[in-house]
Structures are given as structure tokens and as C-alpha cells.
Structure 1
Amino acid sequence: MPDERPLISRVGFGSGTMIAQGYGQVDEDAARGAVEAAYRAGVRFYDTAHFYGSGRSEAIVGEILQGRRDQVRLCTKGGVRYTDPTNLLTLVCDSSYDALRRFMEESLTRLRTDHVDVYLLHQFDPALTPEQQMENLQRLKDEGLARDVGFCNFGAEASRRALATGIPTAVEYSFSLLDHRYLHELSDAGARGALRITYGSFVHGLLSENFAEDHEFEPDDWRGRSRREGRSGTSGNVFFAGDAFAANVAIARRLRAVADSLGISLAAFVLALTVRRPYSDVALFGSRTAAEVEDGLRGLPLALDYATLARAGEILASANRPAENLLGL
């Protein structure tokens, strides 16, 4: 059995689902337990953002990791905010230097640190060129507030221009067993030596929860709105809208049968497969409780034989992956 340390070094705790708006009711005590469980299991990379839970995600991460700062890498994101925190459709971008400086100061206060290891623009700001946005990040780096800087969710042209400045040393994109839309952007960043972070390993719960085709989401859960209304501005909605939800539930059910034969959960199997893919340096996994963290990491030490990988590959080959890049310029 291989040592799980090399694999656990390739996963990071994604704190968006534990506390962010749009995923139903939030239990902050459970969220604290999730961060603590991740640390005790050996996870040392933590990804959060200024607008997750209107700052509550950063505050919880900072609280639990206080006193452990020199043992972890902290990644947070800025440049976006909600004009109305109760309405996910009121998201606005502002990557001006003054705005980023304010975002950064607030994030550092909540994270209880004087710098972050990675600071990313959360989305492309159409009011500024990619070059201007990178220059604003460079100023934060020059001030010692971030060691690595970069961006999330830039489209192909914006990514190309941003990387050409030589400033970004990290990028973050959606990637999963069902989502290969940004392989080119990840490959380009990797070729330049940038840290490649990927989110959405569980496809917003599709590859971790036990959904039925007629599942009813909570009223404030964006996944339910995507099912009802189609596109709603959220990059993950392509997996929930229309016929996609039922098709992906069927894929998950077949993968769960393989996981059952290994004695692990679907989430554990999916994360074990994901970190073995060569497209990221850190694959984020989102969990809302300590039990979910422990369960999700359980597959990392397993040796997955050829037959198991072939079965998974056959199932995933039938998936109708989205081709449309919905993000950025």
C-alpha cells in the first residue's frame, strides 16, 4: 500500500461549500470541525475567499488555524463582492488596486495573519485589462502581502494575456472527473511553472452526495435554481440544468457501485481518482463536517488496480461533459 503522504500533499481544503451562500443552511460549529479534521488528517493547503459567507469562511479558517500558521498554506481570493449578500445574482467585480487593498486588509484580519501564501482574483473584471489586473496584484506582492498571486476563472484570452505578463504564479480553475473545460488554461499555466489549483472535485455534490433524479434542493440553494431555470450565472449550473442533472446522477450511481466494491464511499473514490490526474498541483475538496472530511480522505492510501481504473474510465467515457467555457473574457 503506498504512503498516503504524497497524495495528501496534493489535496487542499476548499471552504466554499462549508459556509458560502447558496448551499442551503450553514452550521458554523460543524464548519469549524471540518477545518480541524482536515488539519489533523494532514491537509496543509486551505482555500477560502473574501466573499464566502460574507467573510465568515475566512474567519473560521483563521480561528482554527491560529497558532499553526507556519505549518499551512493559506489561499484566499478577492475582487468580487455581493451588493446584496442574500442574492447571488448581485455579484460585482472590482479589481482596482484600491479595492484589492481593502479586500486584502479585511481578509488578513479575518485570517489572523500578516500575509497569505496565495492571493487570487476571483473573477475577471471587465472594467480593466488583464494586464492592469496583474499589475495591481503585483503591487500587493511587492508590499509583502502575498507570496504568490494569480487568478481564478479567467477565460482563454484573458488567461493568455495575464500569463504573458509573467506576474501570475498561481491559477485556479474548475476541474473534475466530469469537467475538463479548462485543461488548456491549466496546461498553459503549468508550462510556465505556475501553481495549478483546481476546485469542484465533487462537482458541487454530484459526485459526493446520494442524490436521486427527483431531489428537491433547499429554496436558497443555487443548484435547485439551476435545475428550475437553467443558466443563472454560476459556472457549475451546466451540471444541474435541464437533463444534465439526471444524467450525472446516473453516472454517480455507477461510480458508487465501484466504490462499494472497494469498501469506500463515492466521495472517497472520486477524490482518490482526481488527485491521480496530472492536471493540478492541488485538488480542492469541499466538506461541511468533520465526518465528511474523514470520509473523503479515506481513499487516498488505496492502491487502485488497473481493473478498477478501467471500470471508472468506462463509466466516465459515457459522461456528457460540458464543452462551453462560461467564465471570463
Structure 2
Amino acid sequence: MSTQIPRRSIGDLEVSALGLGCMGMSFAYGEADRDEALATLNRALDLGVNLLDTADMYGNGHNEQLLAEVLRTRRDEVVLATKFGILTDPETSMPNGQVDGSAAYARKAVDASLSRLGVDQIDLYYLHRPDPQVPIEESVGAMAQMVDAGKVRQIGLSEASAETLRRANAVHQIAAVQTEWSIFSRDIERAVVPTARELGTTVVAYSPLGRGLLTGSAAAAKPGDDDFRSTLPRWQGDNLDKNVALVERIREIADGVDSTPGQVALAWLLAQGEDVVPIPGTKRRKYLEENVKAATLVVPQSALDELSALEPAGDRTPDMSWVERDTVAAG
């Protein structure tokens, strides 16, 4: 029996105020633990977390196959989100630097995801990255056909610029735009968030814990060589030292409301609007349960304002241009 957690909306989908990002169960964050991952997925549903977020590139389909094991018996409890468009090296399972947003690839990708997931319909299907060489109208037009065919219920974009979002929405309602947003990642507030609100598009925030940095854990502050965070600017040299110091201030705020830095970071994001749905990623039940408590945490407005004023050192990724660039024009 699931417990009650506040609900928010993505199009006509009713989702938990906090979703679960599943990438780390198969990809990018060190060695995977299949049994613990499955236990975490089931525990999420028990707690009322119904939005499960995956992508075809996570472990070259492994993550979708992992979710299929849970969907087999609990499909009606899940709002299922997956993505297509980022291409990977079959041998390393890592992105090869290319994206494909063509209609032909989209049709192939959705059928492959449906097969791996073992479902007849995907609740929320994202273009993982707009393809700069393919008009967004072509990509979204193909996705709209998936809706008409019953393969997809709602469509979204991930890491899209405001102009891309506007052009896409002219073809078909974009239910969600997924992008990185946290106390430490604010670039989308300039144009993407206002445009999403104008269009009635929910903002699904990935890495709301700053890829773990905002939790204050030692492991997050010192990622191993098999952890992709070691390649990111915020985890290097003086940047890391400055950011760890900022997290200590967040810890002080958290102590004042009897919570953890991670819970305060999630509460800050939830306070940005009812149209925001963070999807913190974890592969362990312990951290899932900690995150869920943030859904009902009340943080004083003065503390929220102080958190909003924090400025981290270093860019969130080496390439932050996705939310600033558009695709080629149609026609």
C-alpha cells in the first residue's frame, strides 16, 4: 500500500511531487547493484513516488530492461517516462557525442523502448536532446504521430532552449521540459522557465541535488575515477573547495529545520512553483526515503531567499549550450 505524497501535474498525468531518476542504477555513477536497484524501485512505489524516469541510452537499454521487471507486476502504479535521441557507443555504453532527432530514428527508437520496457504505451516520451541539424518540427511531428498511434501519451523535450520549446509546442503540446535545475544550476531561469510557464509546460528538474554535491556527502565531494562527475568543472580544484563550503551553509540552514542539506535543496526547488517536479536520482533505498521527506518539508521564506542567492563555482557541465541554442529552421 503506497503512502500519500503530494501530487502535481504533467499534462493530464498526475505525478508525485518528487519523481525518481533511474539513470544511476545502470549508468555513470559507479558499479551497479541490480538487487538494490529493484528494491529501490519497489520501495519508491510503496512510498507513493509514481514518476519513474529512464532513457534508452542508460546502459544501452539496460535501465529500461531493469524497469521492465517492476512494470511487469506494478504497471498501473507507474507514470513511465523515457527518452530517445542521444547516441551511444555499443561497446562502452557512453554517449558518442551525437544525437539523432530525425523522424525515422524516432519511430525506430520508440518501438525499441516499448519492447525493452514490456509495455504498450509510454506515459511521457522525451526527445533527450534536440538535434541541431534536424528541425524541431520534424522531431515533434514524429512524436505527435506516436501519440495518435497510442504508443505515447504525452511528449516532452529535455535540455531545450526557450525558442526550441516554443517552436515544438506549435506542433504539439509539450507536456514537460526536463532540464537540470537546482540551487547550484540556475541558467534555465532566464528564459526556459518563463516560456514553459507561458505555454503550460511542466518543468521536470533533473539533478536537483547538484549531482549529489548538495547532499553534503563525502562520496559526492570526492567522486571516483569511474564516476563521470570527476570530469565536471564543479568537482575540480578550487571550484570544489568553494562549493563544499557553500554546502556547509546549506547544512546550517537544514539543521535549523531538523532536516538534511539534500532535503532543503529539494524543498527549495519544490517551492519554486507547483509546475516544478524534481526527479532526484538514487540507486539506494536509504537515500530515496530521505528524499521523499522533502516533499512535506517547510523551509522559512528567509532561508529560501538565502539559498537562492548562493552562487556555485564552475559551470554545471563542460557544455552548457543546450538551453541557449535552437535547431535548424523547418523547410
TM class by smaller structure: 0.7 to 0.9
The 3 A distance-change label for structure 1 pair 247 and 133 is: same
The 3 A distance-change label for structure 1 pair 14 and 149 is: same
* CA deviation after TM superposition for structure 1 residue 156, in Å: 3.5
Which residue does the alignment assign to 1:5? 6
User: Which of these residues, 180, 195, 205, is aligned with residue 188 of structure 1?
Assistant: 195
* CA deviation after TM superposition for structure 1 residue 39, in Å: 0.7
1:55-94 matched pairs, under 5 angstroms: 55-86=61-92, 88=94, 90-94=96-100
User: Which of these residues, 224, 229, 239, is aligned with residue 230 of structure 2?
Assistant: 224
Contact (CA 8 Å) 2:37, 2:283: kept in 1 or not? Answer: yes
Q: Distance in 2 between matches of 1:271 and 1:206?
A: 13
1:92-103 matched pairs, under 5 angstroms: 92-103=98-109
Q: Distance in 1 between matches of 2:260 and 2:163?
A: 39
Which residue does the alignment assign to 1:172? 178
The CA deviation string for residues 292-314 of structure 1, in whole angstroms up to 9 with x for no partner, is 1011112333333x3xx423532
Which residue does the alignment assign to 1:40? 46
Which residue does the alignment assign to 1:104? 110
* CA deviation after TM superposition for structure 1 residue 65, in Å: 3.0
Q: Which stretch has the larger CA shift, 202-211 or 117-126?
A: 202-211
* CA deviation after TM superposition for structure 1 residue 287, in Å: 1.0
* CA deviation after TM superposition for structure 1 residue 203, in Å: 1.0
User: Which of these residues, 194, 217, 221, is aligned with residue 210 of structure 1?
Assistant: 217
Contact (CA 8 Å) 1:271, 1:297: kept in 2 or not? Answer: no
Which residue does the alignment assign to 2:12? none
Other structure's SS at 2:106 match? helix
> What RMSD over aligned residues (CA atoms) do the two structures have, in Å?
2.5
1:303 aligns with 2:292: no
* CA deviation after TM superposition for structure 1 residue 167, in Å: 4.2
The 3 A distance-change label for structure 1 pair 26 and 14 is: same
Q: Which stretch has the larger CA shift, 155-164 or 33-42?
A: 155-164
Which residue does the alignment assign to 2:305? 313
List structure 1 segments (4+ residues) > 6 angstroms apart after TM superposition.
none
| Residue segments in structure 1 that go unaligned for 5+ positions in a row | 227-237
TM-score by length of 2: 0.85
Which residue does the alignment assign to 1:30? 36
Which residue does the alignment assign to 2:11? none
Q: Which stretch has the larger CA shift, 254-263 or 106-115?
A: 254-263
Count of residue pairs brought into register by the alignment: 311
Contact (CA 8 Å) 1:49, 1:78: kept in 2 or not? Answer: yes
| Residue segments in structure 2 that go unaligned for 5+ positions in a row | 9-14, 327-331
Which residue does the alignment assign to 1:250? 245
1:275 aligns with 2:270: yes
Other structure's SS at 1:126 match? coil
Q: Which stretch has the larger CA shift, 50-59 or 97-106?
A: 97-106
* CA deviation after TM superposition for structure 1 residue 80, in Å: 1.6
Contact (CA 8 Å) 1:223, 1:240: kept in 2 or not? Answer: yes
* CA deviation after TM superposition for structure 1 residue 247, in Å: 2.0
Contact (CA 8 Å) 2:175, 2:201: kept in 1 or not? Answer: yes
Q: Which stretch has the larger CA shift, 145-154 or 4-13?
A: 4-13
The CA deviation string for residues 79-101 of structure 1, in whole angstroms up to 9 with x for no partner, is 12202452635132112222222
Q: Distance in 2 between matches of 1:266 and 1:216?
A: 17
User: Which of these residues, 267, 279, 285, is aligned with residue 280 of structure 2?
Assistant: 285
Q: Distance in 1 between matches of 2:239 and 2:274?
A: 24
Q: Distance in 1 between matches of 2:91 and 2:305?
A: 40
* CA deviation after TM superposition for structure 1 residue 34, in Å: 1.4
* CA deviation after TM superposition for structure 1 residue 326, in Å: 1.9
Q: Distance in 2 between matches of 1:49 and 1:315?
A: 31
Q: Which amino acid aligns with 1:185?
A: V
The 3 A distance-change label for structure 1 pair 102 and 6 is: closer
1:114 aligns with 2:113: no
TM-score by length of 1: 0.85
Contact (CA 8 Å) 2:246, 2:312: kept in 1 or not? Answer: no
Q: Distance in 1 between matches of 2:104 and 2:210?
A: 34
User: Which of these residues, 199, 221, 225, is aligned with residue 206 of structure 2?
Assistant: 199
Contact (CA 8 Å) 1:162, 1:168: kept in 2 or not? Answer: yes
Q: Which stretch has the larger CA shift, 198-207 or 132-141?
A: 132-141
Q: Which amino acid aligns with 2:240?
A: F
Q: Distance in 2 between matches of 1:90 and 1:43?
A: 32
Other structure's SS at 1:11 match? coil
The CA deviation string for residues 38-95 of structure 1, in whole angstroms up to 9 with x for no partner, is 1111111111100112112112222123232223211100112202452635132112
1:131 aligns with 2:137: yes
- Identity level (%): 27
* CA deviation after TM superposition for structure 1 residue 6, in Å: 4.3
